[in-house]
Amino acid sequence: MFDLEPSDPGTESGNAASSCVSIKIVRTEEQLSMVMQRFTAYIIQVTAFGVVSEVGHRYGDFETLHRSLLTDCPHLRLPPLPPKGVDGTDAAVIRSRTVELEKLMRTMLSMPEVLTEKNLHFWKFLELTNPTIITTRFVAVPHSRGSSFKTLGKLVDPKYKDDIFRVAHPAVVELLMEGLQELRQGQSNSGHWVRHGGRTVLCQLLGAALGASETIRNKLLQQNLMGQLLGLVERDEEALDDARIALNIIVARESERMDALMASLLRSGGLSQLAALVQRERCQEFVAKLLWLSWEKAVRGVFAQPGGQGLRILQALLRSNSGLCALLGGVLLGGLVAGGEFDEEPGHRTEAVRLVRESLSNTDGADDPAFGKTLCGSNGAMVKLAMLTEDPELAPLVLGLLCAAKPQPAKLSRIAGNLAAVVSDKTGTRHSEETRARAAELLLHVQSGGTADYSTSTSRSSAYGGGGSAGQSRGSWSQSDGGRSGGYPSSSPAPVELERCEGIAEHEESLDAALRRQLEDGFSRSHESLQTRGVAVHEAADMARRRLKEFPPLSFDSVAQAFASFKSSRDMWRSKSQESEMLLHDMQRQLSELKVARPSTLDPHTYKERLLAAERIYAEVKSQREQLAAAELEAAEKQARADTTSSESRQAANQVRQLEDEINSLRIQRSEKEMQATRLQHRASTPNVDAMRQQIEASIERSVSRAKELQTIGQRVNQGDPDYLRDGESKQQKIAQLTQELATLKKQHEALVQQKQDLEFDPVKLQEEASKLQSEALELHRKSEELEHRRLEADRERGTKMTSSTIDTQEARAAQDRRQMIATQLASTESEARRQMSALQPMIQDHHAGWQRLLAQQKKLDADHSALNSKLEEVNRAAASENSTRAALAERIDSLIGDLHRMQGFLDEVAAAAPAVVPTVPPPVLDDFEHPAQVTSHSSVPPQQPRGNVFEESEEVNDVFRDDYIPQAHTTTLEEESSSPVPASPMAPAYSADHSPHAATSSLAAIPSAAADEPDAGADAPHEASPVQAAAEPKKDDLPDFSEFDF
């Protein structure tokens, strides 16, 4: 957890807390307390580092906070609280308190004493977490920034992953950059706050900020953060691991534009920084990996200046004691060559290729998984490696390096198309057999992982587009289709992909040819080397048989130690000689087996016929697929035509139906108008209209008179006149009766008025209206006749379209049937193709496994060559040891010559029969793909260095890649060791004409040298002395691990 240690309050003016935390009372709410009393809660909106939260407090909580702060900080000057004793629920009081309380909170936020007090009253009041508190203190309280910075470093712990975003706040980042500049100045006694937490914490926080916000990351990169970090390492190489924390984030998040960032860095002084760093052994691997991650055209152009710092950086990497750095340096320089940076200067290109060849010819350390991860870790790295394989001079070196590194098949499968193109030689580059053999071995390695697509068809033959120009080919690469895998898993059969059938015979034939050439070359080299080594083994065995005779036992204490050493050396010599003979016999057996070995038991002609059969059936599948596509297109067209005619038929039917509806509507309207005209005519011819009006008017007058009478009676009843009440009848009953009668009379009056109005008409006008309605009815009849004619025409058109629709539907159904038939045939053919491919796939797997087995046998034979060399050297050392221990034993027994007469005779006999050990110098063991012309003997004269070397520095520099510079340890042959002076007894006789006559003064001669024992071979058959292996290289310092730059 965060340890929020209290800090001493200071007197700093100006506060940055508001940039991190803001406070505002946004509203008030009326709430109930636990005792059901109403109170006003002030809702505070707190925005801390972009996170918005709300917290509610009543007035009493503010009062408690105010009192607590004044108690813990007596010298604190806080504004007073709003007055108490008024109605807290009054609207005016609430508004006034809201303003005053918000002002009080902001004042507290601006006071360092409040922010740093130990009980955290203010922070608890706002309900903020410890990460927010410590980050705000770091920004807002300068006097306690040192301790806050140290605590802030805990945010990088994974358990605070949800809180790390606060570090990406602009105010925090600005302070971190200030701390980085302070560290670059290197004033350790400056007392700056960054000295409290240290460099590691600062780099961790910068890395967290880079990863948390893309905006901040872009801003920091614009401020040359990479240059600042490199400058930090340049000042103190111990800062490398810390700076790498932030650089890892940059590489991980900005991998797509890493080349642009690196080019910008180099143009702004980064080249000088790298030149300084590469001179330090600990930083060389870091520089090499950083360059490899961004080795695109923009970066390569900066390094390709003749005699510039860029080439001196590459030269330093090539001379590095670290094998990984030297290999990466060679790959980087090869990138300049493949990228065309030296095309304008053929001499420079030739020198660069020579340096690349010298660097990559020694692949010691390439099998380290860390190197393979660095070399092939990212997609961009595979693009660059694919570019190198296009250069005929660089391709065998790069492919040899990949063969030694053996990266993961899944990684290598991204350039499987390029490798297949090299094997098939479809790129027009005319690769050598050596290059094709390397590519074939890599393809087998990819096949063992079951992830590659070896298809060499036009669309997937190469990562660069096959036979395109160099300028077109250097910008793209291809990756195997994520949904398909063309490889052959070794454990279980993969789903059969029919597309692999295309070109499979040619591909497999090219692969077989390349692998067969590799095995033939290895067989030839092994045969020649084994013959030479066999002579040396037989000579050593013959010498051992002549000299290793049974000797009389000795049990004298005075010679026990010398005798034990002598016996041990003899046993060792015998053991090593026997082991070398056994190894020679085993290698001869392997060579005999390899000579007649075949990759599989399947007949090659039968195998090729099966491959061609798979291609033929796939061609049939493609043809049927084209027929199916054409049938589907035809069926779709006919179905569309049928749908169109059917739609037209439905539209015609709808039109007929619409016309019928309109005709029926017009007929109904005509009938209505005719009925209205008839009614009007009847009404106009009504008899006695005047008499009827008079009767109705009389009835109306009577109803009005009766109504007035009822109203008068009602008024009298209301006034209490009893004359209008019957016996036992109350006033209310009478009023109700009158009211009911009056309502009935009113209805009768309304009916009479309506009858009167109905009789008030003009017969002439009614006749005119009736005539008008009859005319309208005739017009509607005419329109209906016209519509009936149109309906008949539409009905005939509907019949025609229905017939067309039926014909089109039948044709569409026939086309669908044909498509279905072709689809059935295609499914049957595809099933047969899959069946054949399923049967062929195990054969291909067995064939490839056979090639891998033969390659493994050939590699084992090469390894046995090295082991045989070692055995011969061990035999030489054992012989030399026997010689020296024998001499030492002779010295010790010389003083006991009288008691050791039998031993003297034995030693004389052995010495007389001992020939010189002159083993034949074995030729160097070649790599699987190494051409004999590339091997340079240590004793050969080094090639003359070209003048005007673009890679030479201005001052005299020893070129560690020149043959004459390779440090040679002092080698001593057995002859030289044996020819050294040996103390002789005064009684030793002259044993050889080459020895001094003073040595022949004893019957027991001093142990002669091996050169004296061996009969002179004469000038006609000289023997070269086998040099003793030079001392092992000094142990290299551990270089910084930059493996996090792997994606």
Question: pLDDT tens digits for 279-305?
Answer: 988 898 999 999 999 898 888 888 887
* Cβ proximity of 978 and 961 under 8 Å: no
Residue 24 dihedral angles phi and psi, to the nearest 5°:
-155, 135
CA distance 534 to 528: 10
CA distance 642 to 303: 69
- For 429-455, what is each residue's pLDDT tens digit? 677 888 888 888 888 888 776 544 444
- 138, 143, 147, 150: CA torsion to nearest 10: 50
Among the residue ranges 4-8, 186-190, 431-435, the one predicted with the least confidence is 4-8
pLDDT above 80: residue 276? yes
Give me the mean pLDDT over the 13-40 stretch: 79
Q: Identify the pLDDT of residue 935.
A: 38
CA distance 81 to 57: 14
What would you report as the CA-atom Rg of the chain, rounded to the nearest whole angstrom?
54
Q: Identify the pLDDT of residue 927.
A: 43
Q: Identify the pLDDT of residue 85.
A: 63
Among the residue ranges 747-756, 785-794, 984-993, the one predicted with the least confidence is 984-993
Give me the mean pLDDT over the 841-866 stretch: 86
pLDDT above 90: residue 1035? no
pLDDT above 90: residue 52? yes
CA distances from 788 to 651, 669, 775, 783, 986 (A): 18, 16, 20, 9, 155
- For 885-938, what is each residue's pLDDT tens digit? 888 887 777 766 665 576 667 777 777 765 544 444 444 444 443 443 343 333
pLDDT above 70: residue 249? yes
Q: Identify the pLDDT of residue 106.
A: 92
- For 173-184, what is each residue's pLDDT tens digit? 999 898 888 888
User: Three-class SS of residue 143?
Assistant: helix
**Of 457 and 810, the one with more pLDDT:** 810
Tokens 């920091």 -> residue: 220
* Cβ proximity of 514 and 423 under 8 Å: yes
pLDDT above 60: residue 509? yes
- For 572-606, what is each residue's pLDDT tens digit? 888 988 888 898 888 888 888 888 888 878 788 88
Q: Identify the pLDDT of residue 24.
A: 92
pLDDT above 60: residue 978? no
DSSP string, 536-578: HHHHHHHHHHHH---------GGGHHHHHHHHHHHHHHHHHHH
Q: Of 410, 422, 362, 354, which is closest to residue 386 (Cα–Cα)?
A: 422
**Of 12 and 212, the one with more pLDDT:** 212
pLDDT above 70: residue 469? no
CA distance 177 to 52: 27
**Of 730 and 987, the one with more pLDDT:** 730
pLDDT tier, 472 (very low <50, low <70, confident <90, very high otherwise): very low
Give me the mean pLDDT over the 208-217 stretch: 89
Q: Identify the pLDDT of residue 685.
A: 76
Bridge partner list, 24: 45
Among the residue ranges 272-276, 375-379, 634-638, the one predicted with the least confidence is 375-379
Mean of all residue pLDDT scores within the chain: 77
Q: How many percent of the chain have pLDDT more than 70?
A: 77
Highest-confidence range of 340-344, 814-818, 1030-1034, by mean pLDDT? Answer: 814-818
pLDDT above 60: residue 1013? no
- 869, 875, 879, 885: CA torsion to nearest 10: 120
CB-CB neighbours of 595 under 10 Å: 12
Give me the mean pLDDT over the 665-670 stretch: 88
Instruction: Please compute, for residue 83, the number of CA atoms within 13 A of its CA located in the half-sphere on the CB side.
Output: 4
Q: Identify the pLDDT of residue 127.
A: 92
pLDDT above 70: residue 974? no
Q: Identify the pLDDT of residue 56.
A: 92
pLDDT above 90: residue 68? yes
**Of 167 and 985, the one with more pLDDT:** 167
Pairing of strands 21-32, 38-48: antiparallel
**Of 408 and 1027, the one with more pLDDT:** 408
Among the residue ranges 535-549, 619-633, 777-791, the one predicted with the least confidence is 535-549
pLDDT above 90: residue 65? yes
Give me the mean pLDDT over the 201-213 stretch: 89
Per-residue buried b or exposed e for 381-404, using 16+ beta carbons within 10 Å of the residue's own CB: bbbbbbbbbbbebbbbbbbbbbbb
Among the residue ranges 345-354, 547-556, 559-568, the one predicted with the least confidence is 547-556
Q: Identify the pLDDT of residue 711.
A: 87
CB-CB neighbours of 626 under 10 Å: 10
Q: Which helix (H) or strand (E) holds 829?
A: helix 763-894
pLDDT above 80: residue 255? yes
pLDDT tier, 857 (very low <50, low <70, confident <90, very high otherwise): confident
Q: Identify the pLDDT of residue 121.
A: 92
- For 677-725, what is each residue's pLDDT tens digit? 888 877 777 777 778 878 888 888 888 888 888 888 888 888 877 777 7
Give me the mean pLDDT over the 252-269 stretch: 88
